[in-house]
């Protein structure tokens, strides 16, 4: 695999420093997930979790409308955290799953650092990467699968750099099989990126036959499981239908994130790009002294991002979920000691400033939607409960649709029959029974009596006057800009 990196001197205090750093990060991540975080789809995934728990418990109201299944290539966190949901509720389980995803990012970086003998403290450079588009959009399966793919790549690289002992090789293959299968069951996109990265490492290895053998053994199980699903999705990508058509979106590869990250913080995009450039330049200057494998992995993941369409097989925003993978790998291209100390200090300032922007937006958003936690603390009346936003689906100053599923925290917290949490899709664990449905997103400017007819109660967000279609409801609670309505 090319020459070994020079081992940096390891301080006896480094393990404790790493533990302290990860504990501090865990506390910050917990604060971000506490209350109502700005995350588009997370309330819907939380409602999926709670509804799945209701199905497991045999709630007749819920089972009359919804059914559970195990989709391939999506949704593992919803099943994985089912025991937590059964013990608490979907709201807590989803926040815990998202917190786990935030913790897995520095751990995946740390795994690469251990394999390549980089200082553990360099994980701090990767903290802003945890707040990627999958986090802000609340794509819980995608957000969870990205660090799983990175951990799989780190394990495969470790296996390639191993001594070849039989016990160690078997352990690496078993570990890779488990991690890669978990990545695939969480989200197929991350698994596809994992396969590209493994292929790049295997085909450029000095011991190609051994490398290909390890890759084949480690990826055989998930590849066998998802083969039929991949064929179906590939055919749908080139076949017209009711799904989104394939759209490459060349310009959006470079400007979508910059155009859409506004109050979330410009440094959430600019910061990681600048830090990546520093590591790339440092590698190019010292490439003869550094191992080649991380560079090839970085190039393959970067190329994958560039060639992946914006929309494919009916899924949207596929490409912008991938840069974070190359970004984490970039942070292990060289020993940071090769980077000038003033430049390292400047990078740390960028990291701190980016996290400060992230914290500020979390605080602002929680203030903006204050009152929701108060109203979801008590269960809805029997029947179907729903959500209507008078303010549209975008929060103040943002271009992301944070208000789209916000009311689903009610379903996630209290259970019962809710709506608008992707039950019309076949790729999530909970879906409508055949022939059953409920209205999805309701536009306040055009909502009709027919649309609200199935609902016995509603959460309404916004300070405007109520639409005439809600004349049959009366207000039974108010907190901040939130109102709770029940049918008269």
* Residue 7 confidence (pLDDT) above 60: no
CA dist., res. 421 & res. 327, Å (int): 31
Which residues are paired to 486 by β-bridges? Answer: 457, 474
Give the residue carrying structure tokens 């604060």: 31
Helix (H, G, I), strand (E, B) or coil at 321: helix
Burial status of residue 383 (CB atoms within 10 A of its CB: 0-12, 13-18, 19 or more): middle
CB 201 within 8 A of CB 297: yes
Q: What mean pLDDT is predicted for residues 215-243?
A: 90
Choice between 234 and 134, residue whose per-residue pLDDT is larger: 134
* H or E element in which residue 239 lies: none
pLDDT at 178 over 60: yes
Per DSSP, the three-state class of 463 is coil
Residue 385 · residue 413 · CB < 8 Å? no
In terms of Cα–Cα distance, which of 166, 139, 142, 154 is closest to 39?
Answer: 139
**Which sign, positive or negative, has the C-alpha torsion 68, 66, 458, 406?**
positive
pLDDT, tens digit (0-9, with 9 covering 90-100), for 324-359: 999 999 999 999 999 999 999 999 999 999 999 999
End-to-end CA distance of the chain, in Å? Answer: 72
Residue burial 13-27, b: 16+ Cβ < 10 Å; e: rest = eeeeebeebbeebee
Give me the chain's average pLDDT, please. 93
Distance, CA of 343 to CA of 60 (rounded, Å): 62
Write the burial class of residue 261 (CB in 10 Å: 0-12 exposed, 13-18 middle, 19+ buried): buried
pLDDT tens readout for residues 269-280: 999 999 999 999
**Per-residue pLDDT tens digits for 181-193:** 999 999 999 999 9
Q: What is the structure's pLDDT at 167? A: 55
- Which residues are CB-neighbours of 311 under 8 A, at least 6 positions away? 244, 245, 246, 247, 249, 317, 318
**Rounded CA gap, 80 and 218, in Å?**
22
187: β partners: 74
Residue 10: the pLDDT is 46
Q: C-alpha 223: how far from its chain's center?
A: 22
Q: Kindly report the pTM of this predicted structure.
A: 0.94
pLDDT of residue 70: 93
Report the candidate in 422, 417, 428, 386 with the shortest Cα–Cα distance to residue 55: 417
Q: Which residue has the tokens 């951990």?
A: 151
The answer on pLDDT for 166 being more than 90 is: no
pLDDT digits (tens, 9 = 90+) for 32-78: 999 999 999 999 999 999 999 999 999 999 999 999 999 999 999 99
Q: DSSP 3-state assignment of 31? A: helix
Contacts for 254 with CB less than 8 Å, ≥ 6 apart: none
163 Cβ neighbours under 8 A, 6+ residues apart: none
Measured in residues, the chain has a length of: 488
The pLDDT score that the predictor gives to residue 163 is 56
Give the whole-number percent of the chain exceeding pLDDT 90.
84
Kindly report which listed range (1-10, 430-439, 473-482) carries the lowest average pLDDT score: 1-10
**Per-residue pLDDT averaged across 451-460, rounded?**
97
CA 417, CA 439: separation in Å to the nearest integer?
12
The DSSP code for 399 is S
The two structure tokens encoding residue 82? 């089912």
Provide the sign of the torsion angle of the four alpha carbons 376, 382, 386, 387, taken in this order: negative
Return the SS3 of 130: helix
Predicted confidence band at 225 (pLDDT cuts at 50, 70, 90)? Answer: very high
432, 417 Cβ separation under 8 angstroms: no
pLDDT tens digits along 473-488: 999 999 999 999 999 9
Binning pLDDT at 50, 70 and 90, where does residue 242 land? confident
Specify the residue for token string 């533990």: 19
- Is it the case that residue 439 has pLDDT exceeding 60? yes
Task: Please report, for residues 119, 181, 204, the alpha-carbon distance to residue 197 in angstroms, rounded to integers and kept in the order given.
Answer: 23, 15, 11
What pLDDT sits at residue 168?
A: 67
Strands 430-432 and 384-389: unpaired
Model confidence at 9, pLDDT cuts 50, 70, 90, reads very low
Q: Which residue has the tokens 């559970």?
A: 68
Say if residues 316 and 310 touch (Cβ distance below 8 Å).
yes
């Amino acid at each position: 695999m090319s020459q070994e990196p020079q081992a940096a001197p390891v301080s006896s205090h480094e393990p404790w420093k790493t533990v302290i750093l990860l504990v501090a990060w865990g506390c910050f991540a917990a604060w971000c997930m506490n209350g109502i975080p700005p995350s588009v789809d997370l309330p819907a995934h939380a409602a999926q979790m709670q509804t799945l728990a209701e199905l497991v418990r045999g709630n007749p109201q819920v089972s009359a409308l919804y059914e559970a299944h195990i989709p391939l290539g999506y949704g593992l966190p919803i099943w994985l955290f089912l025991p937590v949901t059964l013990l608490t509720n979907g709201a807590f389980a989803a926040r815990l799953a998202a917190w786990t995803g935030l913790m897995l990012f520095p751990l995946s970086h740390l795994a690469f650092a251990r394999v390549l003998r980089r200082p553990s403290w360099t994980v701090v450079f990767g903290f802003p990467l945890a707040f990627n588009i999958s986090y802000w959009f609340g794509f819980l399966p995608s957000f969870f699968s990205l660090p799983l793919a990175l951990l799989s790549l780190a394990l495969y690289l470790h296996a390639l750099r191993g001594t070849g002992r039989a016990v160690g090789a078997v352990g690496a293959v078993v570990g890779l099989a488990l991690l890669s299968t978990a990545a695939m069951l969480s989200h197929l996109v991350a698994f596809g990126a994992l396969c590209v990265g493994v292929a790049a490492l295997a085909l450029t290895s000095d011991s190609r036959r051994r490398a290909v053998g390890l890759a084949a053994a480690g990826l055989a199980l998930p590849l066998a499981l998802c083969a039929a699903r991949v064929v179906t999705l590939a055919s749908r990508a080139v076949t017209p239908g009711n799904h989104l058509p394939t759209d490459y979106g060349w310009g959006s590869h470079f400007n979508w994130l910059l155009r859409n990250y506004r109050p979330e913080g410009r440094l959430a995009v600019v910061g990681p790009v600048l830090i990546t450039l520093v590591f790339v330049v440092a590698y190019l200057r010292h490439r003869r002294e550094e191992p080649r494998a991380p560079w090839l992995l970085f190039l393959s993941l970067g190329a994958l991002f560039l060639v992946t369409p914006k929309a494919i097989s009916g899924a949207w925003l596929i490409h912008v979920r991938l840069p974070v993978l190359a970004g984490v790998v970039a942070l292990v291209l060289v020993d940071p000691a090769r980077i000038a100390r003033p430049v390292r200090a400047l990078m740390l300032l960028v990291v701190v400033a980016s996290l400060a922007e992230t914290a500020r937006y979390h605080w602002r958003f929680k203030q903006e939607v204050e009152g929701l936690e108060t109203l979801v603390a008590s269960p809805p009346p029997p029947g179907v409960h729903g959500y209507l936003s008078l303010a549209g689906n975008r929060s103040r100053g943002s271009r992301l649709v944070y208000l789209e599923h916000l009311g689903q925290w009610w379903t996630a917290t209290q259970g019962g029959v809710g709506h608008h949490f992707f039950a019309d899709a076949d790729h999530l664990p909970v879906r409508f029974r055949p022939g059953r449905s409920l209205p999805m997103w309701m536009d306040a400017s055009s909502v009709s009596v027919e649309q609200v007819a199935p609902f016995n109660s509603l959460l309404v967000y916004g300070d405007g006057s109520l639409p005439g279609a809600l004349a049959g409801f009366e207000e039974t609670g108010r907190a901040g800009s939130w109102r709770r309505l029940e049918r008269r």
